Chain A
Amino acid sequence: EAQVTQNPRYLITVTGKKLTVTCSQNMNHEYMSWYRQDPGLGLRQIYYSMNVEVTDKGDVPEGYKVSRKEKRNFPLILESPSPNQTSLYFCASSLLGSYEQYFGPGTRLTVT
């Protein structure tokens, strides 16, 4: 089944404790992206990648890092999480040349 998976689905952590949210897709998509969703603010892009080793900043990249060492994986790294990073995070992927994005199930992160 074609899908985007994210882990973990839920995470409660404390300020300053490094964490990684994994994202994997099995559709051989070149393009992958991370979004955060907050009430009243919609979906805001954090980082995106157009292929292996090619990443770029989205609208709200501060406090986040990404890497794209393999085509199928695009982990999101929070080196020192803060409470303002409490949010619902979505990973998405698509074929290059198509804007039809496939979203993962989401990761709800709470930073206390």
Chain B
Amino acid sequence: GQQVMQIPQYQHVQEGEDFTTYCNSSTTLSNIQWYKQRPGGHPVFLIQLVKSGEVKKQKRLTFQFGEAKKNSSLHITATQTTDVGTYFCAGPRSNSGYALNFGKGTSLLVTP
């Protein structure tokens, strides 16, 4: 069935280092969303990408949607301790209205 895969599962960086998480879908996606979940918290929507090759920035975060609309990435420049959490990508499930398939997430740990 349709799957959304994320790598790496975990990433531990020193504060100031860059971080990237990758998301790959087994099928072409109409759009992709990214969410962040802080430890002990709930997922919070970050952004949605719709167009092939789209790049969006939010301060130190850069989101990309692949040309084939089957992969996406989130890059954080110069990580801070406030970036700690789990980052999920999610894509619409085929033939299921607005249901989403979430990746398993990448847990980011930032040490000062």
- Chain B contributes a number of interface residues (CB within 8 A of A) equal to 23
Shortest Cβ gap from B65 to chain A (Å): 13
Main secondary structure of the interface of A (DSSP, over half): strand
Per-position contact with B for A99-110: 1 when CB-CB < 8 Å, else 0?
111111110000
> Complex Cα distance A99/B105, Å?
18
Tell me if A62 is interfacial: C-beta within 8 Å of chain B.
Answer: no
Interface segment, one of A16-24, A35-43, A67-75, A78-86: A35-43
CB nearest to B50 among chain A residues:
A99
Chain A residues with CB under 8 A of B100: 33, 45, 99, 101
> Complex Cα distance A100/B33, Å?
8
Asked whether, in the complex, the Cβ of B104 is within 8 Å of the Cβ of A42, the reply is yes
Top 4 A-B pairs ranked by shortest CB distance? A42-B104, A43-B102, A103-B42, A100-B45
A-B contact pairs, 22 of them (CB 8 A): A33-B100, A35-B102, A40-B104, A42-B102, A43-B43, A43-B88, A43-B102, A44-B102, A45-B99, A45-B101, A45-B102, A48-B99, A58-B99, A94-B98, A97-B98, A99-B33, A99-B48, A100-B48, A101-B33, A103-B42, A103-B44, A104-B42
B residues near A, CB below 8 A?
9, 31, 33, 35, 41-45, 48, 88, 90, 92, 96-105
